[in-house]
Amino acid sequence: MFTTKKRKNYMTFIYSAIIVVLCLLIVAIAWPTKADNVPAAQTGAADSTQNKPDTEENIKEKDYNPGEKSNISDTFATYYLVKSVDGKVKVFFVNESGEPLELETTEIVYDLLSTADQKLFDEGCKVESQEELAVLLQDFES
């Protein structure tokens, strides 16, 4: 009787281990690799648009993953500008031709800022990426 129970527990352990290993194998196969998220131009693939500058025609030719999160400032020499306008701190996106496009009015209370910070926002704070913009806004809004 003892050996039958022991054998049953052993078989349950074996079956459970097989199921766990199969699940891990499926997850490992389905997990996206770093190469899946890199555009073809960065992987060294021979592409006709690889050495061309980013123009509107070349951007249309490139094969971008539609599900991929894109940074609006990746394509051209663009930036974000955080500036005080009429006593309110606003965020602008400046496109490649230098035209500012207002994105949002922040919750930053301009009157409570130090004079150095007020001067910074009066002149305009240039930020290169969405990540830097998020950090800047988080620092001043909290």
Of 79, 91, 83, 88, the C-alpha closest to 124 is 83
pLDDT at 135 over 70: yes
As beta bridge partners, residue 14 has none
Q: Is 115 inside any structural domain?
A: yes
- Whole-number pLDDT of residue 141: 79
Q: Is 22 inside any structural domain?
A: no
Q: What SS3 class is residue 93?
A: strand
Q: Is 88 inside any structural domain?
A: yes
Residue 47 backbone phi and psi in degrees, to 5 = -130, 140
Mean pLDDT of the chain: 75
CATH number at residue 90: 3.30.70
60-86 per-position pLDDT tens digit = 444 444 444 445 544 557 899 999 998
16-41 per-position pLDDT tens digit = 999 999 988 888 888 876 655 555 54
93-105 per-position pLDDT tens digit = 988 888 889 999 9
Domain limits at 130? 79-141
- Whole-number pLDDT of residue 48: 46
